[in-house]
Structure 1
Amino acid sequence: MSYVLNDAVAFADESAEGFVAAHRNLVRRVRGGVARAAATPPGQVAVVIGGGSGHYPAFAGLVGPGIAHGAAMGNVFASPSAQQVVAVARAVASDAGVLLTYGNYAGDALNFDQAQEQLRAEGIPCQSVRVTDDICSAPAAEQEKRRGIAGDLVVFRAAGWAAEQGLDLEAVAAFAARANERTRSIGVAFSGCTLPGAAEPLFTVPEGMMAVGMGIHGEPGIETVPIAPARELAELLTARILAERPENGTGGRVGVIINGLGSVKSEELFLLYGAILPLLKDAGLAIVDPEVGEYATSFEMAGLSLTIVWLDDELEQAWRSPAYTPAYRKGTVDLAAAPAAPDEVGGAADAGTVIAAGEEAAAAGARVLKAIESIRNVIDREVDELGRLDAIAGDGDHGIGMQRGARAAAEAAAAASSAGAGAGTVLTRAGEAWADKAGGTSGALWGLALRTLGRQIGDAGAPGAAVVAQAVAAAREAIQRTGKAEIGDKTLVDALIPFSERLTALASEGRGLSTAWTEAATAATAAAAATADLLPRLGRARPHAEKSLGTPDPGAVSFALAVTAVGTVLDAYNLKEN
């Protein structure tokens, strides 16, 4: 649990402010995260890392000479939004471009990919490398589906070293990818972790047992076994990683990380390293500059992980090179060599002035506001249940992520509506705020959906059933194109497609918006309940698919709750008009 707390919703932002205040000689606050206090030298590729808060020193603690130029900081256990990533990248970009590198989670991939597209559209060269070191999260034949854990440090170090050697963007990305291909990790947990303000941990481990293959967001392990003495634990971890020795890992020199996840203390980690060392020597491996400590944590989770990277000559240079960040220091770095960059005030970028619409259009905007407020209210009511559903096979943060997004959307919608905006603008502003404040997969997809609805509906007046149905169909297409989900993958798409299809069919029959929407919401609710019989094929629940059997998908459930709440608002307006 968190012992030092004001408001759980503000935890990540307040923690970030204190972090910057404590390390002003090394970092500065920028929109979306933090950046080096020094400006990026001309001609040097800027390395931007990032992910959810709650994993310190990942990610902000690794910003500084020798590693990253900036870090996009999402909310607790939620990926940063695309807007946050873009803002950090802009703050550190040089003429040589930007490398984005991050752990391979669905929300991070969605948001960083969108950021990459936007940066390229702005003329900033950009490439991405996803970290996929966790051997328990997907089979060896599907390494591209694996998630990133403590192996982040290996890839970030490689990228930072390559950038500071003056390599171009393509070469920096290739070197970081090489580091990732040669890195393997496995973790165990002895207890779960608790999100700030939550009363219960995301998951529990039975007394005397340990979960093998747990994730740093609280994803359950792939198996639970009795806690073993350090020698046996060392044998388990080492044997499983050595069984996955990369094909190009022909050399005998390796880098090793023993990572603590929060509650396992340094003395215990050193003890484990002492047990692992002879096992690696017996395997013919020589350890180069081992790292024992906390590098990717998960609040108070009692757990640890082993990471091994098979080094070649250049990777060894990167692994041993100097670095100086708030949380990672090696060798000697001249901090006075680079010019300081100007401070930047954090916060959201100015979205521009709202142009007041006509009376009818403004009334439609006010209705949209009521609809979004109804979504906020139902999510506030069901936030704990959505978190419980998500914790069964995922990381348990879906409820709080939806809550952050819905509250931000309602606030932005209220500001737009009070300025006289039409329906399209209110939806667009709500979508931008939802994506920016929620982050994660749900934030990216809900933000995309609302922005698409806004563009399709526009501000001309009060849209009817046919226009709304077309807009929902466009949002569905955008979500599927971006998230790659299909019916049967156990995602919100399983509720969205039946909703959209039913709404379109009823609108084509000439039904009014209120009637058509309410019936479509009923179809979405039934489809969401039916996801209990599915096994997830995408997202964080995929590695633990069998655990979710019998439980509906939280994304589908939250979608059904939202459209049902909107239907109630439409019914109320329909009664007033009749």
Structure 2
Amino acid sequence: MTRLFNDPAAFADEALEGFTAAHRRRVRPVTGGVVRAGATPAGQVAVVIGGGSGHYPAFSGLVGRGLAHGAAVGNVFASPSAQQIRSVARAAHGGAGVLLMYGNYAGDVLHFGQAAERLAADGIDARTFAVTDDISSAAPGESAKRRGIAGDLPVFKAAAAAAEQGLPLEEVLAVAERANARTRSFGIAFSGCTLPGADHPLFTVPEARMAVGLGIHGEPGIGEEPLPTADEAARLLVGTLLKELPEDVGRPGGRRAAVILNGLGSVKYEELFVVYRKVAALLDEAGVEIVDPEVGELVTSFDMAGVSLTLTWLDDRLEELWRAPADTPAYRKGALGEPEAPASGPVRAADEAPEAGIPAASEASRHAAGAVLAALDAVAVTVDAHVDELGRIDAVAGDGDHGIGMQRGSTAARRAAADAHELGAGAGTVLAHAADAWADKAGGTSGALWGTILRAVGNALGDQEAPTAARVAEGVTEASAAVRRLGGAEVGDKTMVDVLVPFADTLAAAVSEGLRLTTAWDRAAGAAEAAAAATAGLLPRKGRARPHAEKSLGTPDAGAHSLALITRAVHGVLLNHH
């Protein structure tokens, strides 16, 4: 378990601070993460990678010449926010565009996609690419739904090496696509990981058993098998990957592969080498030529006891890129000479946009902002009271961080709203500030979606008119539509959408009947509570719980449950402020 920490909520920030202090010759801190110590050469595409903390060396440890130009670093097991990613990308940009790369998880997809849109608005050409190497997380015909695990490294490296050669953005992206299409990974685990401040792991494995097909966020395995010997583990890893070759990889001898045997946190190097001796022998028997193998901790999951095997099937071009030199804090290959002189400048990205001022608001809207602030206070108090319960529900088939993420987001939203309210902001601006703070501090899928919800309601309320029941219902309806557009989920997928849609629809219908807001909200909150309970009978079709669908039967969705709790808490505020 993770034993050395101060405030668990500050763990990720303090870890990044210590990392940059230890590696000043290679990286420098910027808002949201790190970039290379030396500026990106003019005209070179910047490869910016990222994801949650808890996976070192991924992602910050892979920043340096020959690999990433920057890394956006989120909270523990939570994607960085769009603002963090944008900040790092702006600092890394060398004038030739940015390729944003990440593992294929819902929160990362949302935040990196939003960051690309904001970069485009800034005049920076940006593309996104998600790594999908984990064969256990979806069938071959649905490879776009697969997670990114240790295959992140060879895909990141191929793209970064192409960028170092001066290729334009579209060609760097094409290299990433080629490398990803030829990369496969599979993992096993013997115990789960324990987050800082937690007193138990996110999942457990029975004595003399192992979990197979695991993720890197504390997700349980797809199944269980008897505990193997080292050679039996090697046979399972190699045999599983050789059953699924890319279509353009020939089956006769003469095939080449970059091979990564990755430790997930607690399996020691000597154990990895015992396994690798058999991996190498089995691949040799299968006619596979191993090219520059890597054995060690490359993409971890805190203290998870487990290993994964990655094969990237090489052609001449991919082999050239795999063998290319790199010099980062955690990954070095070949020789690049002395590093560039560190770039000077402040810790914050020099070109980060300044914060906008508080727009003028009417007296009625400023008065309503007080009720909004009270509602956000109630949300934060409710989340604090249920944080452990939300984490427990989420850990059944996910990564167990929903409660922590909601706590970070709601606390930040309340603080930002209070600051805006003190400066005389109207209801719409108070919600807009809360939305940005929630998305920025929570990260992950819930951060993006709650930021979207608050902003949609804020847009409907505005800063000039006193809020009406119709305007509130309009904002909630737009929030429902916006969340579905952004996340791609619909009713029945076992997500927060299963609660948000009936809540919004019931509220709108009740308001259209002429009911007062308090009465209409009460009816809608009841619909939300019933819908949240009903998610226990659904199989997840979206998010990290999807590969573990059967495990979640009988347990409600954590995001749906937290939304229902919040709707009821807000109703109490409405009663007091009506």
- Judge same fold: TM > 0.5, yes or no: yes
Q: Which residue of 2 aligns with 1:271?
A: 274
- In structure 2, relative to structure 1, the CA distance for the partners of 1:175 and 1:455 (3 Å cut) is same
In the alignment, does 2:566 pair up with 1:562? yes
Q: Which residue of 2 aligns with 1:369?
A: 373
Measured after TM superposition, the shift of residue 339 of structure 1 is 6.7
Matches within 5 A, 1:478-493: 478-493=482-497
Q: Contact between 1:34 and 1:60, CA under 8 Å: does it hold in 2?
A: yes
- Could you tell me how far apart the structure 2 residues matched to 1:272 and 1:337 are? 38
- Could you tell me how far apart the structure 1 residues matched to 2:163 and 2:348 are? 27
One-letter amino acid matched to 2:136: C
Query: Unpaired runs of 5+ in structure 1?
Result: none
Measured after TM superposition, the shift of residue 455 of structure 1 is 1.4
- Could you tell me how far apart the structure 2 residues matched to 1:40 and 1:69 are? 7
Matches within 5 A, 1:476-515: 476-515=480-519
- Could you tell me how far apart the structure 1 residues matched to 2:241 and 2:221 are? 16
TM-score computed with the length of structure 2 as normaliser: 0.98
One-letter amino acid matched to 2:61: G
Q: Which residue of 2 aligns with 1:64?
A: 64
Q: Which residue of 2 aligns with 1:79?
A: 79
2:469 aligned to 436, 441, 465, which one? 465
Q: Which residue of 2 aligns with 1:547?
A: 551
Instruction: Determine helix, strand or coil for the equivalent of 2:292.
Output: coil
Measured after TM superposition, the shift of residue 358 of structure 1 is 3.2
Q: Which residue of 2 aligns with 1:516?
A: 520
Q: Contact between 2:37 and 2:341, CA under 8 Å: does it hold in 1?
A: no
Q: Which residue of 2 aligns with 1:161?
A: 161
Measured after TM superposition, the shift of residue 231 of structure 1 is 1.2
- Could you tell me how far apart the structure 2 residues matched to 1:496 and 1:514 are? 18
Q: Contact between 1:28 and 1:343, CA under 8 Å: does it hold in 2?
A: no
Q: Which residue of 2 aligns with 1:303?
A: 306
Instruction: Determine helix, strand or coil for the equivalent of 1:99.
Output: strand
In the alignment, does 2:393 pair up with 1:389? yes
Measured after TM superposition, the shift of residue 350 of structure 1 is 4.7
- Could you tell me how far apart the structure 1 residues matched to 2:30 and 2:406 are? 25
- Could you tell me how far apart the structure 2 residues matched to 1:349 and 1:444 are? 20
- Could you tell me how far apart the structure 2 residues matched to 1:164 and 1:421 are? 47
- Could you tell me how far apart the structure 2 residues matched to 1:341 and 1:39 are? 9
Matches within 5 A, 1:324-403: 324-337=327-340, 340-345=343-348, 350-355=354-359, 357-403=361-407
- Could you tell me how far apart the structure 2 residues matched to 1:416 and 1:123 are? 29
In the alignment, does 2:538 pair up with 1:534? yes
Measured after TM superposition, the shift of residue 326 of structure 1 is 0.6
Matches within 5 A, 1:145-184: 145-184=145-184
Q: How many residues are aligned here?
A: 574
- Could you tell me how far apart the structure 1 residues matched to 2:339 and 2:105 are? 37
CA RMSD after TM alignment: 1.3
- Could you tell me how far apart the structure 2 residues matched to 1:176 and 1:550 are? 40
Measured after TM superposition, the shift of residue 349 of structure 1 is 6.6
Measured after TM superposition, the shift of residue 121 of structure 1 is 2.1
One-letter amino acid matched to 1:61: G
Q: Contact between 1:32 and 1:346, CA under 8 Å: does it hold in 2?
A: no
In the alignment, does 2:417 pair up with 1:416? no
Q: Which residue of 1 aligns with 2:22?
A: 22
TM-score computed with the length of structure 1 as normaliser: 0.98
- Could you tell me how far apart the structure 2 residues matched to 1:295 and 1:535 are? 33
Q: Contact between 1:182 and 1:246, CA under 8 Å: does it hold in 2?
A: yes
- After superposition, the C-alpha distances for 1:201-235 in whole angstroms (9 at most, x for unaligned) are 10001111110011110111111111111111111
- Could you tell me how far apart the structure 1 residues matched to 2:423 and 2:341 are? 45
Q: Which residue of 1 aligns with 2:296?
A: 293
Measured after TM superposition, the shift of residue 355 of structure 1 is 3.6
- Could you tell me how far apart the structure 1 residues matched to 2:339 and 2:441 are? 36
Measured after TM superposition, the shift of residue 344 of structure 1 is 2.4
Measured after TM superposition, the shift of residue 346 of structure 1 is 7.4
One-letter amino acid matched to 2:577: Y
- In structure 2, relative to structure 1, the CA distance for the partners of 1:262 and 1:339 (3 Å cut) is closer
One-letter amino acid matched to 1:278: A
In the alignment, does 2:285 pair up with 1:282? yes
Q: Contact between 1:187 and 1:214, CA under 8 Å: does it hold in 2?
A: yes
- Could you tell me how far apart the structure 2 residues matched to 1:119 and 1:383 are? 34
Aligned residues with identical type, % of pairs = 63
In the alignment, does 2:229 pair up with 1:225? no
Q: Contact between 1:41 and 1:338, CA under 8 Å: does it hold in 2?
A: no
Q: Which residue of 2 aligns with 1:41?
A: 41
Instruction: Determine helix, strand or coil for the equivalent of 1:558.
Output: helix
